[in-house]
Structure 1
Amino acid sequence: MNIKTPAWRTLALTSLVSCLLLGCEQDATTESVAKKPRPAPVVETATVEERFVVDEIDAIGTLQANESVVISAAVTEPVASVNFVDGQQVKKGDVLVTLTSDEQAAELAESEANLADAKRQLKRIKSIGKNLASKSDIDAAQAKVDATKGQLSAIKARLADRLVTAPFDGVLGFRQVSVGALVTPGTEITTLDDISIVKLDFTVPEVFLGKVHTQSLVSGTSPAWAGQIFEGRVASIDSRVDPSTRAIQVRAEIANADHKLLPGMLINVTLFSDQYPALVVAESAVIQSGSRASLYVVKDDNSVELRNVTIAKRMPGQVVLSEGVERGDTIVVDGTLNLSPGMKVRVLGEEQSSLARESDSSNIHSS
C-alpha cells in the first residue's frame, strides 16, 4: 500500500538537507580562510647614518654698543653754539659744541705777537756778530722765544677745551644743552655710541664651560625683527663663574652695518659648540615607553628585532643615539605600531618592486 507523503513535509525535508549541505560548505570555507597565513606588514625603513652634530646652547642676552661715551665739557663756560642734531651720525673729530672763548682768543693773539717779537730780537742779536753780542745775551733771547712758545701752546690747549668734539665715529643721542647754557665738567651734553659692531652679553651654565670657546658661532633673533637671524662669534669669556648662579658670562660680537640692532635690546641667543660625529635616526623610529626608548631593527631575513637604545640628544625630527644600534643598521621608521619582535615584514620599496615584477610577468603570460 502506497502512503502519500504530504507536499509540505517533502519541502521541509528538502530545505533541511540543503541547509546542512550549505553549512558544511561554509565551515570548509571558514576553515580554509583561517588556515591561510596573514600577509607580512609593510613598513618603511631607513639606514642608521653617522653625521656631524653640533650642540646648541640657548640663552638670552643683552646688546651693548662697541664703544659708548657720555659727551661732556672739560671746563666751565657758556655754550656758544650747538653743531649737531639728535641721532646724527658723526666722524671722529667733528665739533659738536663750541663754548665761549673770547678771553682765550685775546690771549692767543697776544701770545702770538709776543712770540713774533721774541723771534725778531733773537735774530737781531745773532746778526750783530759774536764780537758784539755775548753768548749770555743770545741765550736769554732764545729762552724768551721758548717761553713764549710754551705760553702759546697752553693758550691753544685752553681754546681746544672750548671745542667739544666726537672722540670716535658713531651715532649721537638726544641733545641735552642749548645755546647760552652754562656747562661744567661732567654736564651731559649728549651720548655717542659706535654701533657698527654690537656686543652681545649672555650667560651659560658652568656645565657647558668646556663647550664654549672664542670664535664659536652664535646666532640671535629679536622680536623687533621677526624672521631675521643675526650671526656673530664669541669674542671673550669671563674669567670667573658667578657663585650664586653657577653661570659664566660670555660676550659675542655681531656686525651691525645697517644699525638695526641697538644697545639695550633683548636677544634670543643660540651658541653653537664644536662638531662631533654621532649616530642620527628619525624621531619616528623611536618607541618611547616611560623612560625606556627602543626601536625595531630589520634583520637579514626580514624579521624585526626590538632593541633598547640610549638617546644622547634630541633635535627637530631626529634623535642622536649613543647606544643600541650601529652604523649601517636598517631600522623601521614607519609602521612600528603593527609590529612585534620576531615578526616578518615587507619593506615599502621592496614591496613596490615586487608588485611591479608581478605585473610585468602577468602581462607577458597574457600576451
Structure 2
Amino acid sequence: MSPCCGFRFSSNTKPGGPMPQPQSLPQAQAQAKIPCRPAPLLPLVLAAGLLVSACGGGDKAPQAKSVSAPTVRAAMFDARECRSLPAEVRSRNSVVLASKISGTVVEVMAAEGDVVEKGQSILRIDDSELRQRMQAVQSTAQQAGLERQALTARSALAKVNMERMQKLYAQQAISQDELDRARTEFQTLKKQEQAMAASAASAGHQGAEARSLLGYSLVTAPFRGVLSRRFVDQGAFVNAGAPLASVDEMAPGGDAQGGYELEAQADESLLPLVGVGMQVLGLVPSLSPAPFITRLTTVVGRVDPATRTFKVRADYKAPALQANATQTAEQPPGQPSRQDNATQASAHANRPRAGMFGKVCVPVAKTRKLLIPASAIRQRGELTTALVVDEKGVLRLRLVKVGGAFLKAELDGQSYIVQAQTEALTEPGVLLEVLSGLTEGETVVNGGPETLREGDRLAVKP
C-alpha cells in the first residue's frame, strides 16, 4: 500500500472480491506504522528563487540626463521648385590649334593650365626641311630669271634680224625661205621667253608659299585665354593638320570665369516653357554648393529624335567669394594677409574647367514642402529617426520617412529649392523633405552629440 493524496488503498484484496474502501491517512499510518514524508517542493522553490535572482541581476537602465543641443523647427517652405538638367561646363570660345606642316616638335613654351596672351608662342615645329625647300625654290627662281634675261636678249636680236630680212625680201635680195626662217626664229625665242617668265613667276609663288608655311612652324595663341590641353610633347612627330593644343578664351575683362557657359540637354516637355533670356539657376557642385542666378543664352529648338531632348546654354557666373579684409595683429601693414593669400588660392582653385559637371535648374512650379536640415536626421542602422523635443523639453525618438534632398536659395527676393546630390548630405544647408513622422512646428534636435538618447531633458527649452 502507498499513500496518495491523503488516502491509502489496500492491496490485499482477493480476485473477484469487493473493491477496497479508501482509508484516511492517519488510519493508514496507524495500521502500517510508516511515517508520512512531505512532497519534494523545496528544490523547486530554490530554483525559482535563483532564476528570479539571475533575471534581476543585470545592468541598470541608463538614467535620463540633462543635455544641451541645438534645435530647429520643422517648417513648411513655399518656394519655386526647379527642374534640374545635367549640364557640362564648356568654354564659350574654344579652339583647337593645328599646323599646316609636318615635322618634329622641337620646343614647348607653355604648359597646360597656363594663361597665354594673344600671339604668345605655345610650341615650335622643326622647319629645317621647309627652309631648305624654300632656298631651293629661291635658287630655281633666280635661275629662271637669268635664263629669261638671256632669252629676252636673243629675242630682241632675232626681231632685228627678222626686220632686216623683211627689207631685203622687199628688195628681192633674199628668198622667201630665208625670210620665213628669220621670222620663225624670232617667234620661237619669244615663246621661250614667255615660258621662262612663267617659270620664274611659278618659282616666286613657290617661294611665297614656303615663306607662309614657315610661319606655321611656330604655333601661337589666337587670343588671350587658358591653354586647356596640349596634345603633343617635345620630340613628337606631327603630321600636317594634326591637333596640337586647345585654348579656351577668357572674357574681355580678363576673367577666366566669364568665358564659360553651361550646356544642358532639356527634355522636350520643357520646350514650351523656356526661351532665350529666361532666368534660371546654375550650379557647379565641385566648385560651390550654392546656386547662382543666370539666364539662358541659347535655346536650340530642334529636338533630337534619338533622345527626345534639345540643347540649351546659360552663362556661368561664379558665386561671390567671402573675403576677410581684416589683418591679424602679427601681420605687418602693406603686405598681403594670410586671408588674402587664402582667398586668392581659393579663387584659383574655384576656377571652372571645361568638362566639369554642372546643372541648369529651370523653375517650373510653386510647391510647398516640409523640410528639415539633413543634420537633424539620425540613422540607427537601417532606421531613419529624429529626436523630437516635447512640450516638457524631453527628447523623444521618432521614426521618420524622408524624401529628396534640396538646397534652398533666396535669390532676387524669390525662394527656390533645387535638388541636391545624395553624396552632398553632409554639406551645410542641405534640407531633407519629410514625408511622414513629423508635423509642422515640431522642434527637432539639429545635430548634437551621438550620446543623446530618448528621455534626456534639454537644459534650456527651445
Taking structure 2 as the reference length, the TM-score comes to 0.40
Q: Which has the higher strand share?
A: 1
